[in-house]
Structure 1
Amino acid sequence: MNNEVLQNISQGMRFHPLREAFYEEMHSRPFQVIPSPARVTHLAILCDDTQRQEQFEHLKTLFTAFGVTPPEHDEVCIQYELGGLRVRREKHLEFTTYTFINFDVPADSDPFDVTGVAALPHAWLQSMPGEVITAFHLSVEASDSDDDVMLPRVKQFFEGMRLVGSSPQQGDARVWTTLRLHSDGFGRFLICNKRMSDSQLGRLAQRIMEIETYRLMALISLPLARECAPHLGAMDRQLAELTQHLSERDVINEKEVLSELTFIAARVEDYRAKTTFRFTATQAYHELVLQRLVELREDEVSGHLTVTEFLTRRLTPAVRTCQSVGERLEDMSKRIDRVSDMMRTRVELSIQAQNQQLLASMDRRSKIQLMMQHTVEGLSVAAISYYAVGLIKIMMEAAHDSGLHFNKNLALGIAVPVVISSVWLATRKIHKHFLKLAKEQREADLADEQVSKEVKK
Structure 2
Amino acid sequence: MNSAANPYGLTMHEQRDDLYAELHSRPFHVIKSPARISYLAVMLDVTRKQADFEHFCELYGYFGQTPPSHDSVCLEVDFGDWRIRRETHLEFVSYTILNQGVPFLDDPFANTGVSRLPKEWLQSLGGTVVSAFHVAIEDARHQPEPELAQVRSYFEGMRLVGSLPQNGDAQVWTTFKIHSDGFGRMAVYNRGMSSSQLGRMVQRLIEVESYRLLAQLGLPLARHYNQHLAQMDQQLVGLTQQLSGSKDELDEQAVLTKIIDMAAWVESARAATTFRFNATAAYHDLILKRLSDLKEDEVSGHLTISEFITRRLTPAVRTCKTAGENLENLSRRIDRVSDMMRTRVDMSIQSQNQHLLASMDRRSKIQLAMQHTVEGLSVAAISYYSIGLIKYLIEAAYEKGAPIDKSLAVGLAVPLVIGGVWWATRRIHKRFLKLAKEQMDIGEGEH
- TM-score by length of structure 1 reads 0.89
In structure 1, C-alpha distance between the alignment counterparts of 2:159 and 2:343, rounded to whole Å: 62
In structure 1, C-alpha distance between the alignment counterparts of 2:197 and 2:445, rounded to whole Å: 79
List runs of 5+ in structure 2 lacking aligned partners.
none
Once structures 1 and 2 are overlaid, which stretch shifts more, 326-335 or 414-423? 414-423
Q: Are residues 1:227 and 2:215 paired?
A: no
Aligned residue identity for 1:174: Q
Once structures 1 and 2 are overlaid, which stretch shifts more, 356-365 or 193-202? 356-365
Change (3 A) 1:150 1:441: farther
Per the alignment, in what secondary structure is the counterpart of residue 298 of structure 2?
coil
Aligned residue identity for 1:287: D
In structure 2, C-alpha distance between the alignment counterparts of 1:177 and 1:313, rounded to whole Å: 16
In structure 1, C-alpha distance between the alignment counterparts of 2:158 and 2:370, rounded to whole Å: 102
In structure 2, C-alpha distance between the alignment counterparts of 1:138 and 1:421, rounded to whole Å: 118
CA positional deviation for 1:377:
0.6
Listed one character per residue, the Cα deviations across residues 264-313 of structure 1 (whole Å, up to 9, x for unaligned) are 22222222221111111111111111111122122222242211111111
In structure 2, C-alpha distance between the alignment counterparts of 1:324 and 1:387, rounded to whole Å: 90
Per the alignment, in what secondary structure is the counterpart of residue 191 of structure 1?
strand
Residue of structure 2 equivalent to 1:51: 48
Residue of structure 1 equivalent to 2:280: 282
Which of the numbers 405, 412, 416 marks the counterpart of 1:418?
Answer: 416
Residue of structure 1 equivalent to 2:158: 161
Residue of structure 2 equivalent to 1:316: 314
CA positional deviation for 1:90:
0.4
Per the alignment, in what secondary structure is the counterpart of residue 133 of structure 2?
strand
- How many residues are matched? 444
Residue of structure 1 equivalent to 2:333: 335
CA positional deviation for 1:214:
1.0
Name the Cα RMSD after superposition.
Answer: 2.6
In structure 2, C-alpha distance between the alignment counterparts of 1:123 and 1:399, rounded to whole Å: 129
In structure 1, C-alpha distance between the alignment counterparts of 2:237 and 2:4, rounded to whole Å: 76
Q: Are residues 1:101 and 2:91 paired?
A: no
List runs of 5+ in structure 1 lacking aligned partners.
452-457
Per the alignment, in what secondary structure is the counterpart of residue 134 of structure 2?
strand
In structure 2, C-alpha distance between the alignment counterparts of 1:207 and 1:148, rounded to whole Å: 22
Contact residue 42 and residue 137 of structure 1 kept, 8 A: yes
Aligned residue identity for 2:340: M
Change (3 A) 1:254 1:147: farther
Listed one character per residue, the Cα deviations across residues 7-59 of structure 1 (whole Å, up to 9, x for unaligned) are 3323xx33332222112111111111111111111110111234322222222
Change (3 A) 1:298 1:146: farther
Aligned residue identity for 2:281: Q
Residue of structure 1 equivalent to 2:137: 140
CA positional deviation for 1:444:
6.7
Per the alignment, in what secondary structure is the counterpart of residue 271 of structure 1?
helix
Contact residue 98 and residue 113 of structure 2 kept, 8 A: yes
Q: Are residues 1:354 and 2:336 paired?
A: no
Which of the numbers 323, 326, 341 marks the counterpart of 1:325?
Answer: 323
Contact residue 145 and residue 189 of structure 2 kept, 8 A: no
CA positional deviation for 1:445:
6.7
In structure 1, C-alpha distance between the alignment counterparts of 2:436 and 2:80, rounded to whole Å: 99
Change (3 A) 1:5 1:266: closer
Residue of structure 2 equivalent to 1:264: 262
In structure 2, C-alpha distance between the alignment counterparts of 1:9 and 1:403, rounded to whole Å: 128
In structure 2, C-alpha distance between the alignment counterparts of 1:91 and 1:32, rounded to whole Å: 16
Aligned residue identity for 1:164: V
- TM-score by length of structure 2 reads 0.91
Listed one character per residue, the Cα deviations across residues 188-222 of structure 1 (whole Å, up to 9, x for unaligned) are 11222122111111111111111111110010111
CA positional deviation for 1:387:
2.5
Residue of structure 2 equivalent to 1:122: 119
Listed one character per residue, the Cα deviations across residues 414-449 of structure 1 (whole Å, up to 9, x for unaligned) are 33322222221221222223334445556677788x
Residue of structure 2 equivalent to 1:455: none
Contact residue 147 and residue 302 of structure 1 kept, 8 A: no
Per the alignment, in what secondary structure is the counterpart of residue 9 of structure 1?
coil
Percent identity over the alignment is 58
Per the alignment, in what secondary structure is the counterpart of residue 182 of structure 1?
coil
Change (3 A) 1:204 1:148: closer
Which of the numbers 43, 63, 67 marks the counterpart of 1:66?
Answer: 63
Once structures 1 and 2 are overlaid, which stretch shifts more, 321-330 or 389-398? 389-398
Residue of structure 1 equivalent to 2:195: 198
